[in-house]
Amino acid sequence: MEKATTTVNREARSADTREKAARRKPWTPPSRLDAPPAPPGYKHRWIRAFTANQEDRMNIATKVREGYELVRSEEYPDFPVPSVEDGRHAGIISVGDVLLARIPLETVEERQAYYNRRAIDQVLAIDNELMKSNAHNSMRIESPSRQSRTTFGSPGPSGE
C-alpha cells in the first residue's frame, strides 16, 4: 500500500503579500518632476527658484508668505530625489530650477474660496457698470445673461 504524501508550505504568512501577486506596471517615460507623496493633509507643488540663471528670491518669498514650506530630502530617505547641494537651499528637494514645497490642504481651500469670491465680485461690478450705462431708452438691457445655448440643425418633421 502506498503512503500519501502532503506538502507543507513552510513560508511565513507575512511573505505572502498582494505586492508579489500584483501585475507589473507597463513602462512609461520617466517624469522629471516625480515627487514623493505628500503627507496626509498636505499638497506638494514645484515652485520656481531660478529664472534665466538668476535666483528668483521674490517668488520663493511670496510662496513662503502664502503658506508653503520647502521640503527637505531628509524627510524622504527612501525616495530617490535630487536636492540642492550647497547654498541657501542646501538639502531642499529640487529638479532643475524648481524646488519642492508643501502647503496644508486647508490653506489651499481657503485660497481657492478667496479667489472665487473675488471673481464673483468682479462679475457683479461689471454687471453694475453695465446697468449704470443703460441710460438710453432705445438700447435698454434688462439683465445680463450668462448662458449660452448651442443647437445643431433643426428638428425633423416628427420633432426629433
CB 45 within 8 A of CB 68: yes
- Please indicate, yes or no, if residue 112 is contained in any of the structural domains: yes
CB 43 within 8 A of CB 103: yes
The count of structural domains within the chain is 1
| pTM of the entire predicted model | 0.61
Q: Which domain holds residue 129?
A: 108-134
Q: State the pLDDT at residue 111.
A: 93
pLDDT value at 148 more than 70: no
- Please indicate, yes or no, if residue 62 is contained in any of the structural domains: no
59-106 pLDDT, tens digit each: 999 999 999 999 998 888 888 777 888 778 888 888 888 999 999 999
Q: State the pLDDT at residue 86.
A: 76
- Residues 141-149 have a mean pLDDT of 65
- Please indicate, yes or no, if residue 29 is contained in any of the structural domains: no
pLDDT value at 160 more than 60: no
Which pLDDT band holds residue 23 (cuts at 50, 70, 90)?
Answer: confident
- Please indicate, yes or no, if residue 12 is contained in any of the structural domains: no
- DSSP secondary structure string for all residues of 65-131: HHT-EEPBGGG-TTS---B--SSTTTTBBEETTEEEEEEEHHHHHHHHHHHHHHHHHHHHHHHHHHH
Burial class for 93, CB neighbours closer than 10 Å (0-12, 13-18, 19+): buried
Residue 59 CA to its chain's centroid (Å): 18
- Please indicate, yes or no, if residue 19 is contained in any of the structural domains: no
Phi-psi region at 53: left, alpha or beta (left = phi > 0; alpha = psi -120 to 50) = left
Q: State the pLDDT at residue 35.
A: 83
- Please indicate, yes or no, if residue 126 is contained in any of the structural domains: yes
User: Three cell numbers at 98?
Assistant: 524648481
- Please indicate, yes or no, if residue 37 is contained in any of the structural domains: no
Phi, psi of 139 (to 5 degrees): -125, 55
Q: State the pLDDT at residue 80.
A: 79
pLDDT value at 19 more than 80: no
pLDDT value at 121 more than 90: yes
- Please indicate, yes or no, if residue 87 is contained in any of the structural domains: no
User: Three cell numbers at 17?
Assistant: 503579500
Please state, rounded to an integer, the average pLDDT across all residues of the chain: 81
